Amino acid sequence: MSRVNMFKYETNVMTVDPGTVIFEAGDAPDFMYVVQGGEVEIKVGEQVIEVIKAGGIFGEMALVDPEPRTASAVARTECTLVPLNEAQFTRHIHATPFFALQVMRIITARLRKWMQSAPAPTA
């Protein structure tokens, strides 16, 4: 998975303890997050579908699609996160167009991974 390093030295951060629920499936979309340190589990129900590590992002669909969240995010370890709301996300895209390309690549890689792991349709 691609890494987003432009937030490595960001000071507007939040620290969460292991086991902290960052958001749950069904929540209203509000922020995406960049992981500065630690690990975050992305879960559908009780199944962990991905672990996001330093330099990774999660929750980005919330800023692209206004529908409720489809997965939950839970801190696996103590984490330092950079939250970005829609206005901040848009500013970063305008200031650094490569950031938008990185986000699109991450979304595409996740979609491809999930499609490859989906059961084949039956006729």
| Mean pLDDT of the 90-99 span | 87
The answer to whether position 94 is within a domain reads: yes
This prediction's pTM: 0.83
115 or 41, higher pLDDT: 41
Contact by Cβ (8 Å): 93, 99: yes
What's the number of domains the chain is made of? 1
Whether 117 has a pLDDT exceeding 80, the answer reads no
The answer to whether position 2 is within a domain reads: no
**DSSP three-state, residue 112:** helix
Inter-axis angle of helices 97-117 and 86-95, nearest 10 = 120
User: E-strand spans in the chain?
Assistant: 14-16, 21-23, 32-37, 40-44, 47-52, 57-58, 72-75, 79-84
Contact by Cβ (8 Å): 64, 110: no
Name residue, tokens 């390309």. 101
The answer to whether position 7 is within a domain reads: no
The answer to whether position 53 is within a domain reads: yes
**DSSP three-state, residue 60:** coil
Whether 83 has a pLDDT exceeding 60, the answer reads yes
Whether 1 has a pLDDT exceeding 50, the answer reads no
60 pLDDT band, cuts 50/70/90, is: very high
The reported pLDDT for the residue numbered 116 is 79
The answer to whether position 39 is within a domain reads: yes
The reported pLDDT for the residue numbered 8 is 65
The answer to whether position 4 is within a domain reads: no
The answer to whether position 87 is within a domain reads: yes
**CATH code for the domain of 20:** 2.60.120.10
Q: What is the mean pLDDT of the chain?
A: 88
The answer to whether position 120 is within a domain reads: no
Side chain identity, residue 6: M
Residue 42 domain boundaries: 14-113
